[in-house]
Structure 1
Amino acid sequence: MRIIFFLFSFLFLYAGNLIITYPNLQKFYYKNQIINLKAKLITSNINDLNFSLNKGEINYTKPNPYVYLLNLRYKNDGNNTLFITSGDFNKSINLSSLYKTKVVENIPKFCNVIAQNLKIINPISTNINNKILLSFTIKTKNANLEDFKLTNDENLTMINKNEAAYFTYLPKNTKNFIFYYFNTDIQNYKKISIPIILKEKTISTQTDINPEEKTFFTPVNILILVIIAFFILIFLIYQKILLLIIPIILSIYLIISIFPKGEKVLKKDSKVRILPTQNSTVFYSPLVDTKVEILNIKKNYTKIKIDGKTGWVKNENLK
């Protein structure tokens, strides 16, 4: 048995009545790299085996009673263990011991992401409070995207394991937003450069990026308050009840427009956007159906409040 083990070098692990092979195992991986590892288990015991990872994802198939095919996906952080159990049988495998781990050098403007690929989708730059707000969507393949970090004034919201919404505030004279990620295919850094192209006109709904920013004293509301005050003053002078009809109607309008419009359920995986437009940046996506507060409705979009954040979703995503 030891001779067979040696001939198939480095891919086999013999453990009593188990033989485990790793068909796509590499000699080394990088620290914090996302690893997709395949494993094939051959057992002489017909009893079902159970598998689990202390961190990460695992799924498997059983083509026949003696063979298991596993797919493991986990972040290589030095503490990754595969557990195999069946009745009184228990075995743990430290996956990090199967290969060498290299550390990526932390160069300037490195975003901490190690990926097979990384792309920037739909970058938008706007002027806000004498700063530039840059937002975009990040799409990756096999990446530790949750580790993305560049500035102290930024926000990253995971949409799924390979996609995230990002925005940051930059000095007003910024011309390009540059950063690097480490590409595992070429085993080197790749530069990402995003030109800052400011929109010509300001979109007032950009203030919705601040989830708590909702002002009662807008120009329209101030005008309505002045009209209400005028008719109340006239009523006090002439004491005619009909003069209260207009201020009552306007007051009802203000109450309806300002206060929340109830609650609905947002479907899982729905895209919550900064603005009520198709090209707006997606900054949040619920993993399960989630109850949200309805703030406003505009044609095809509804303004909601979810987990302390305010954004816009398509009407069909609510139920």
Structure 2
Amino acid sequence: MRILISLFIPFFIFAEILKYENIKPYYYPNELVNFNIRVILPTPKKINVTTSYNVETNLTQINPYIYLLNVKFLANNEPHKLIIISKKFYKEINLNNLIKIKKIIPPKNYSNIVADDLKIENPIATKYDKNHTILNFNILCKNCFIKNFKVSSYEQNLTTISQNKASYYVILPKNIKEFTFFYFNSNKQTFEKIKIPVIITQNIISTQTNINPEDEKIFTPLNILILILIAFSLIIFLVYQKIFILLLPILLSISLLLKILPKGEIEIKKGTKVQILPTKQSTIIYISNKNEKAQILNKTKNYIKIKINNKIGWIKSENYK
């Protein structure tokens, strides 16, 4: 017996110990898994951690013998792997084997979010075009993977502000008066319904033709007046047959073309925010994920009206090359 004990003593002295902390009994699909691995070393040494692309880690050294490794990933069927390496130590961990996933049946308009809590801030609805409304709001959630937020098949965009906060907009048919979605509350273990009234915010600046998010149209009141003057001038020319009379319709035609045609092309920078209106608090309708070409439609002192990817809006003047 003494011989056996003496044989196993070196093993316990020199073995690294991994302790898993704060793992729940089960998780729901797409819930953020967040737990710690305490690495206890027999002798002071440096350790390194590598993971698969879908795992986030944060390593903290508590003392020369103990490291605390925080691990985060989504509870889904993707492979999640973690490797801990130090001198004379190699440990590969299949993280999927450490957790159990409990299935849920999502309702219609499920947002793909599992969270301890979710709140909505600053909902603003404004006219997008004659058939659509754009609704913009901030999402705040606790212990969630906010990048997964998506509702139904609407045209929409999510901009991550922080790990638990994002700015979101969705373009809705104008007849929709309430935007509804569900998220799964992991504390209450039930689906929670969020209702957002779609109430158009009246803004005087949005009714001005030259800064409206819609493209310049020929048949605006001012353009109709110009067309009438052009037609009237041509009738006078046909009656009197004087060449100088053509000067007026030619100048008016040039003026109209300059007004309605794109005013050149620019390249906007990656991360440029395209807004509905040229104001600081305007709703963001598009964010470029790379340097992109855009048509210039109009200019003010600090903003440029552009058309990009069939979207029309305003960018700050410094956001193009």
Instruction: Verify same fold: TM over 0.5.
Output: yes
**2:254 is aligned with 1:251:** yes
Partner of 1:117: 117
Q: Which moved more, 1:82-91 or 1:97-106?
A: 82-91
Partner of 1:19: 17
Q: Tell me if structure 2 keeps the 8 A contact 1:164–1:283.
A: no
* Cα distance change on mapping 1:66 and 1:217 into 2, 3 Å: farther
TM-score, normalised to structure 2, is 0.70
Residue type matched to 2:123 in 1?
N
Cα distance in 1 for partners of 2:88, 2:295 equals 51
Partner of 1:3: none
Cα distance in 1 for partners of 2:313, 2:128 equals 19
Q: Secondary structure at the match of 2:223?
A: helix
* Cα distance change on mapping 1:168 and 1:289 into 2, 3 Å: closer
Q: Which runs of 5+ in 2 are unaligned?
A: 1-11
- Listed as ranges, the matches of 1:1-319 within 5 Å are 18-43=16-41, 46=45, 49-61=48-60, 68-84=67-83, 91-120=91-120, 121-124=122-125, 126=127, 133=133, 135-141=135-141, 142-152=143-153, 154-160=154-160, 162-170=165-173, 172=175, 175-199=177-201, 203-204=206-207, 208=213, 214-228=216-230, 237-240=241-244, 244=247, 247-248=250-251, 251=254, 254-255=257-258, 258-266=261-269, 268=271, 270-287=272-289, 292-318=294-320
Q: Secondary structure at the match of 2:27?
A: strand
Q: Secondary structure at the match of 2:225?
A: helix
Partner of 1:10: none
Cα distance in 1 for partners of 2:184, 2:274 equals 29
- Greater CA radius of gyration, 1 or 2? 2
* Cα distance change on mapping 1:292 and 1:60 into 2, 3 Å: farther
Q: Tell me if structure 1 keeps the 8 A contact 2:273–2:286.
A: yes
Cα-to-partner distance string for 1:236-258 (whole Å, 9 max, x where unaligned): 83234x96377347615633652
Deviation at 1:42, TM superposition (A): 4.2
Q: Which moved more, 1:93-102 or 1:189-198?
A: 189-198
Q: Which moved more, 1:244-253 or 1:51-60?
A: 244-253
Cα distance in 2 for partners of 1:38, 1:251 equals 70
Cα distance in 2 for partners of 1:118, 1:68 equals 33
* Cα distance change on mapping 1:308 and 1:255 into 2, 3 Å: same
Q: Tell me if structure 1 keeps the 8 A contact 2:30–2:112.
A: no
Q: Tell me if structure 1 keeps the 8 A contact 2:23–2:34.
A: no
Residue type matched to 1:239 in 2?
I
Deviation at 1:29, TM superposition (A): 1.8
Q: Which runs of 5+ in 1 are unaligned?
A: 1-13
Q: Tell me if structure 1 keeps the 8 A contact 2:118–2:140.
A: yes
Residue type matched to 1:99 in 2?
I
Q: Tell me if structure 1 keeps the 8 A contact 2:115–2:186.
A: yes
Percent same amino acid among aligned pairs? 32
Cα distance in 2 for partners of 1:111, 1:318 equals 34
Q: Secondary structure at the match of 2:213?
A: helix
Cα-to-partner distance string for 1:55-76 (whole Å, 9 max, x where unaligned): 1434445567765544433221
Aligned residue pair count: 297
* Cα distance change on mapping 1:176 and 1:225 into 2, 3 Å: closer
Q: Tell me if structure 2 keeps the 8 A contact 1:116–1:140.
A: no
* Cα distance change on mapping 1:196 and 1:49 into 2, 3 Å: closer
Deviation at 1:135, TM superposition (A): 0.9
Cα distance in 1 for partners of 2:199, 2:250 equals 46
Residue type matched to 1:261 in 2?
G
How large is the Cα RMSD of the aligned pairs? 4.2
Cα-to-partner distance string for 1:62-98 (whole Å, 9 max, x where unaligned): 5677655444332211324233265997643222221
Q: Tell me if structure 1 keeps the 8 A contact 2:217–2:260.
A: no
Deviation at 1:32, TM superposition (A): 0.6
Q: Secondary structure at the match of 1:208?
A: coil
TM-score, normalised to structure 1, is 0.70
Q: Tell me if structure 1 keeps the 8 A contact 2:111–2:182.
A: yes
